[in-house]
Amino acid sequence: MHKNLSHYITSMERNGDLIRIREFVDPVLEMTEIADRMAKSSKGGKALLFENTGTDFPVLMNMMGSEQRMCQVLGVSDYDDIRKRIDSLFNALLSPKQGLWDKLKLLPTLKQAAQWTPRVVRKRGACQEVVMKNPQLSRLPILKCWPHDGGRFITLPMVHTKDPTTGVRNVGMYRMQVFSDSTTGMHWHKHKTGARHFSEFKIPGDGGAGGRSGV
């Protein structure tokens, strides 16, 4: 398993599964055209690390575009290993228990399952080591994927919303179209959880859009 993205990149490069591209490649149409061809090549091709993007940030693409790399990320040799692990877990949890000893034998399994759930860490993360006081989206190598797209899109963001009534959080991947240095438009379907949170946020009464917060 990998500690972070840098560790994963090092592992892919060591395995000959990564291509570093040091020449300038434009985030507008060029990167995605190259990545599209690579992804459609034999066995998903290699991961691509664009180091010269015209910004201070590199871009990694096709990082999980092959079965081999997906298995590597999941720490298995075959997709079917995941199914076997889940089947084994549920069989252990749901099987009849004859006594205290049978229940105690479940503790390692319960510990393993607990490690899969998100953890709350009450300290600053590595992503907060550098703080932009005046953030500008133009400083990021945001992609334009297709010639007839409406503009540049943040294609795989982590959009955090909170139910304005219950406080339950949600993290969704909703495409964000860049309108300006500080403004994006959210692309989400009406049935998605983030859209529901926003709809409830706008309901008149109970504070309405002017009184509720959390989205």
The one-digit pLDDT tens for each residue of the chain (215 residues) are 678 889 999 999 999 999 999 999 999 999 999 999 999 998 999 999 999 999 999 999 999 999 989 888 888 888 888 888 778 777 777 777 677 666 666 767 777 767 767 777 788 777 788 888 888 999 999 999 999 999 999 988 999 999 999 999 999 999 999 999 999 998 889 899 999 999 999 887 654 444 443 33
pTM for the model = 0.78
20 sits in the region (left: phi over 0; alpha: psi -120 to 50; else beta) called beta
Are 194 and 177 within 8 A, CB to CB? no
Q: Tell me the residue type at 53.
A: T
50-66 core/surface letters (b: 16 or more CB in 10 A; e: else): beebeeeeebbbbbebb
Residue with tokens 């709350």: 120
How far apart CA 10 and CA 47 sit, in angstroms, is 12
Cα dist from 151 to 29, 76, 155, 212, whole Å: 10, 38, 12, 31
Are 25 and 53 within 8 A, CB to CB? yes
Please give the backbone phi and psi of residue 20, each rounded to the nearest 5 degrees, phi first.
Answer: -90, 130
